[in-house]
Chains A and B, each alone.
Chain A
Amino acid sequence: MAVAAEDVAHLLRRAGFGGTAVQVSTLAALADRAAVVDAVLDTAANPPESRPAILDAVGKDEDRWQRLLAVRLGWIDRMATTPTPIVEKMTLFWHGHFTTSSDAVYRPNSLYQQLTYYRANALGNFRTLAQGMALQPAMLLYLNNNENRKKSPNQNFARELLELFLLGVGNYTEGDVFAAAAAWTGHTLDEDYETDSATYVFRADWHDTGNKTFLGTTRNWNGPEVIDAVLDNGTTRPIMARYIVTKLWSFFAAPNPSTTVVDALVAVFVANNFELRPLLRAMFLRNEFYDVGVKQGLVRTPVEYVVAVMRSLNMPASEIHPEWWLEDMGQDVYNPPNVSGWRPNGYWISAAASSARASFADWLTWKLKDAKFLEDSKTKTRPDAIAAALAAFQIHHPSARLVQVLDAWLADQRTKNEDWAENKVLPMLVLLSPDLQLA
């Protein structure tokens, strides 16, 4: 094989939600790493949007929860079935970066519209994405720019734009926030809460046309020019590029990238005029991406974990009910905890989060047992039974320690005259293995 199967499996887990044994071996047979990466980044088969019908049903406000649920589960099902998972992975990234929470914006229609925009531009151009993001009704509502007017500026959006979306704290002044807030006055929306519809509008009478000093330049700034300025200003452009590159690497590879990696990727990002696809290609081609520290360096978020299980078992949301489990595990799509989105790794590890995952696994394995999952396990030798359980969850390269623990448990279990428990507990232990919980 031309490419190491372990590297392919790793890439499929990170650029998507894992792969089948056949997918791994097919890609590993390609000529070189570039061919594998190009195959993963080929999004031609990305399915068209399937807008949940309930969004267009003439309904009353009581339906809003059902609408939101349809939007949530629709996305999770899409993640679990798409032939182009990199699109959903990048959409998840932008959803966590340019974030909006349904707790604050209880408008399924606007949230769906926002996510659809992120998906359409998921691997596109960062400038386009950022400019469009600012005018999404869900964002205007979430960070209150719909109420930002000359007479009384609301700084919420302007502050987060600089702090969380583009630059990171410490890379702008309080004065820049004031100026950006003034520049964004009047960018608001026409809305009708009853029908859950909202459309961006610019209200010139709310807009502050006076001079503002932003990034050291005093002129009559308008909102979108502020984003362009951050991307074009010689000082802030590399800061922005480093900020985004570091966050993307932390999302796909592991936190704390080396300066070498960041410098190289920033160069690619800037040289390609902030196009994202070349940046992702460069990331996935880096040798560092396949270092053991990176391979072991990320914990699956609850959504990634549940989707990986759904893909392994070929189970839709209507059977696995992510809406029953994800909130307790600590992550639900369309509902990040705050404007900074989700944090990696340690954020997901605690006794409480472990309990939620274990409760999910417990429920799922009873359900699987009812469906006769791995029912012939007890007729197999211990190594075969363990291999079958690992393969069922797409663990292609289990750690030696995991196999050891499973074997010791199985040896003991088989002395106990409780045969019925084998195909209940074996998948349970696999579901709670570090191998499955790591990204």
Chain B
Amino acid sequence: MLSSDHDVAAALAALSSPVEHSALGWTRRKFLTAAAVAGGSAAAMSLLPDAWREAWAAPPLGATDGVLVIVTMHGGNDGLNTVVPVSNGTYYAKRGAISIAPGAALPLNGDFGLHPNLMYLKALYDQGRVAVVNGVGYPSYDRSHFSSMDIWMRGLADRNSTSPTGWVGRYLDGIGAGTDLLQGVSFGGSVPMLVRGQNRNGTALSDYGKFFGSDSEPWQLREYAALRAMGAASTGTGAWGDAISKAQVQLLDVAVQTAPFYAGTLPKSDISRQMLLAARMINANLGVRVIVLNMGGFDNHAGELNEHAQLMGAFDDALRTFWLNLDLAFANRVTMMTMTEFGRELRGNDSGGTDHGTANNLLLIGPRVAGGFHGQLPNLGALDQYGQLTFNVDVRSVYATVLGQWLHADANQVLGGGFAALGAFAGGPTAEAAAPFPSSPSGGPSGGGNPGVGDGGTPRYPPSDPGSLMSVTPFRLVDTRIGQGAARLGPAASFTVKVAGVGAVPADGVVAVALNVTVTEPTSSGFLTVSPAGEERPLASNLNFTAAQTVPNMVFCKLGTGGAVNVYNSAGQSHVVIDVLGYFSTSGGSGLVPLVPQRVVDTRTAAAPLVAGTVMDLALAGVGDVPKEGVDAVVLNVTVTEPSAAGFLTVWPSGEAKPLASALNFQRAQTVPNLVIAKLGGGKVSIANNVGATHVVADVVGYFATQGSPSAAVAVSPRRLLDTRTNKAALSYGATASLTVTGVDVPADAAAVVLNVTVTEPLTDGYVTVWPAGQAKPLASNLNFVRGQTVPNLVIAKTGTAGQVMLYAHSTGAHVVVDIVGYFEG
């Protein structure tokens, strides 16, 4: 219920000077176990200069100190639709339409699968970094949001206690004295009871922008000093007036310490923003021990499938944000835990939702948890008289586990009684650097599908005849999702699809084709290889993917027997979508004029992202180095970033009806590049986005002209030019590599080359640029990526001096794989 009294008491207890020790008081020495005290060396990495760090008391994290990040899901998260009991017939019978189908869930084992939007969580699970605790609850359940959340937050052995403290607050009581404001923090406007202790209190931090009070003009410093003076002594306005003034002093303290966390553009999603700030705070090594994040909206009494799916997607995005931004030096000392006041009823209601329930699951996530399942799914066939599930793991046992095994605290004291611990941790915190986290949105960087280490030199088949480009309005050749052109590919399987004579492509005289190939809904990590029909498949890949990822890439391929290409899938079940962008013909057509890349659109700097339903017309003829006349098509490197939803871009000649084709598919919040050959209509191309809103960046890297002396294209058997994984020599930050691209079946006078470049396992966000040797590096990028991501892109690069091109990696630890797939004649 609305118990105003306990908020009042809690705030007073916490914000005024330390109150007298109660029965729950203790000293630090008494509190900590010997093992934890033994640690203590500061970790190396910090966002802040050391001089700043001396300004406050919170010590840096010791080698065996654990950090706990709690994600509070307010409203009662539906655990049954989060970790779905896919083998349980009762679940499906009782839930009816408000259930997650076994085929839709992301499989964990035979009995459980994750909500389909938890792709990143699935990837973490696959790394053994997720512990699911089933059947969590407490005796004599209360189905009020507020009462039940109080019980969860309080975490006392006495179920009926009205103590205004939370178990995290009481833990903070024990780890230090004084005003270590940043040892326990909560993002949001208020300090939840969870982090209120007897003597100490968590600090509420903003999740929207840096605090007031970190400026430094002399008049501002005097202003801050006056505000400090207000809070320095009793204000004469009573306890609440004192509390207000003290909070303002805290604000001034915290503002300076936390200002660096808010630098740059923060994610729009509340929970992703909180996760990023939390990761930065841990990386800064200010001694933070517990961070509470807050997510609302889980009270899905109606329209649950849609609302809950959005929440799961937001949570999953946020997980990715956190783990990919967390410094690996600290990751082995970080565990994340979810909590929510109760689960939902097993029965679905008639509003497409579920009502308040009882026992639920929770998640422990991190490199040191014992991945897998703990506790038991409650017996769904044995509900109590009110139709509720019965718990089998007391939530206070979970707290005892976290307190004892992770935070090295005396759980009995914090909880006011003994509770059996679970085996939910594989080990305690350690200062050893953690192995990298999965890339976006799911899948380990090393699991990104090894394209097979080629033999480097020997072509598998002869080059195509030279051909000139005939660009077409893109059209769809294959969509296995609807059985068009071919069926879904199984492991180590392939299909052959005829291109010559299909759609706008003539039956004769076609030597090679430009295709946009997208893999979607793959069930495991793998890669696709596109090669001429009837020829030996080269040891190369056109695109690499991990389970559930959607990856597009342009493919330039010689046509084989019967004017067809062969598409091979290395592992798992994969859907494939192929659109035709153009063909290369021995009669007529236009040739390539490669350009130094020029940016032609960047919606991030313009007014607004590209919103579904609107069409962006991009004038290209006469722009930059692209001539006004005689241009048939342009080559664009198109990148989407910050898309609000999963979708695709279509690029087509202006003035024509929008075709059913995609230039670039993406998932929510992904950054995806793709090379596009786009036919012009009236000197322009049109770009549309099918759902949500996304930023679009495009560089023009060449054009196809009929006049002058443009060069014809030749598709060759892919050969590997570079694979940094083979000698384990990832590129260091800012490293430049020179690649000899001519030779073997590529003549020394080739004007430009077509390369397939894949980046994998980058340790930081970054980009790769490819340019002709002997020239200055242009201000452009061929592919952008985030830490951990595996990204392929086709690159057309002018050949520089000595038949070489240069490759620059603006990232640390990026592995780069380069295959040559064709060239343009000199």
Contacts and interface: CB of A to CB of B under 8 A. Distances in A.
A409 B226 contact: yes
A292 interface: yes
B240 A345 contact: yes
B230 A433 contact: yes
A256 B238 contact: no
A387 B56 CA distance: 37
A307 B798 CA distance: 65
B1 interface: yes
Interface in B335-370: 349-351, 353, 355-356
A186 interface: no
Contacts of A155: 355-356
Given A416-B218, A438-B237, A151 B350 contact: yes
A421 interface: yes
Contact of A421 (B206, B219, B227, B233): B219
B76 to A, nearest CB: 11
Contacts of A356: 189, 206
Given A343-B7, A349-B15, A355 B211 contact: yes
A136 B191 CA distance: 33
A353 B204 contact: yes
Interface stretch (A168-176, A196-204, A210-218, A369-377): A168-176
Contacts of A256: 4-5, 8
B11 A345 contact: yes
A58 interface: no
A418 B241 CA distance: 30
A51 interface: no
Interface in B233-266: 233-245, 247-248, 250-251, 254-255
Given A147-B351, A429-B223, A434 B212 contact: no
B229 A405 contact: yes
A401 B236 contact: yes
B10 interface: yes
B7 A399 contact: no
Contacts of B234: 401
Contacts of A74: none
| Most A CB within 10 A of own CB, among B7, B230, B243, B353 | B230
B190 A354 contact: no
Contacts of B248: 354, 358, 432
B146 A434 contact: no
Interface stretch (A229-237, A262-270, A293-301): A293-301
A175 B302 CA distance: 22
A378 interface: no
Interface in A413-428: 413, 416, 418, 421, 424-425, 428
B373 interface: no
B142 A169 contact: yes
A362 B210 CA distance: 14
Contacts of B238: 292-293, 295-297, 438
A126 to B, nearest CB: 17
A291 B380 CA distance: 56
A228 to B, nearest CB: 22
Interface string B166-199: 0000000000000001000000111100000000
B208 interface: yes
A123 B482 CA distance: 64
A227 interface: no
B205 interface: yes
A349 B237 contact: no
A346 B227 contact: no
A352 to B, nearest CB: 4
B8 A345 contact: yes
A399 B241 contact: yes
Given A299-B244, A354-B251, A340 B2 contact: yes
A318 interface: no
Nearest to B232: A405
B233 to A, nearest CB: 7
A368 interface: no
A328 interface: yes
Contact of B2 (A343, A418, A421): A343
B1 A163 contact: yes
A250 B499 CA distance: 77
Contacts of A154: 301-302, 349-351, 353, 355
A83 interface: no
B144 interface: yes
Contact of A352 (B5, B189, B230): B189
B350 A418 contact: no
| Most B CB within 10 A of own CB, among A143, A338, A400, A418 | A338
B434 interface: no
B422 interface: no
Interface string A264-300: 0000000000000000000000000000110111110
Contacts of B12: 346
Nearest to B142: A169
A399 B213 contact: no
A169 B146 contact: yes
A412 interface: yes
A151 B96 CA distance: 14
Nearest to B228: A405
Nearest to A406: B226
B187 to A, nearest CB: 8
Contacts of B301: 143-144, 154, 156
Given A255-B4, A351-B254, A352-B189, A438 B212 contact: no
Given A255-B4, A344-B7, A352-B204, A169 B147 contact: yes
Contacts of B191: 346, 350
A409 B222 contact: yes
Given A350-B190, A351-B251, A356-B189, A144 B226 contact: no
Given A400-B236, A435-B237, A153 B15 contact: no
Interface in A372-414: 399-402, 405-406, 408-409, 412-413
A124 interface: no
B386 interface: yes
A140 B238 CA distance: 42
A345 B205 CA distance: 18
Given A154-B355, A156-B301, A405-B226, A341 B2 contact: yes
Contacts of A152: 349-351
A358 B247 CA distance: 12
B4 A344 contact: yes
B2 A164 contact: yes
A143 B346 CA distance: 20
Contacts of A346: 7-8, 10-12, 14-15, 190-191, 243
Contacts of A433: 230
Interface string B201-225: 0011110100111000011001101
A297 B9 CA distance: 12
A188 to B, nearest CB: 11
A344 B7 CA distance: 8
| CB-CB nearest 8 A-B residue pairs | A346-B11, A296-B238, A152-B350, A434-B241, A147-B351, A350-B204, A358-B212, A169-B1
Interface of B: 1-2, 4-5, 7-8, 10-12, 14-15, 74-75, 142-147, 181, 188-191, 203-206, 208, 211-213, 218-219, 222-223, 225-227, 229-230, 233-245, 247-248, 250-251, 254-255, 296, 299, 301-302, 349-351, 353, 355-356, 386
12 contacts: A159-B143, A169-B147, A256-B5, A293-B238, A296-B237, A338-B296, A345-B240, A347-B11, A358-B248, A416-B218, A425-B222, A437-B244
Given A295-B238, A353-B247, A358-B212, 5 more contacts: A159-B144, A329-B189, A352-B204, A358-B248, A429-B226
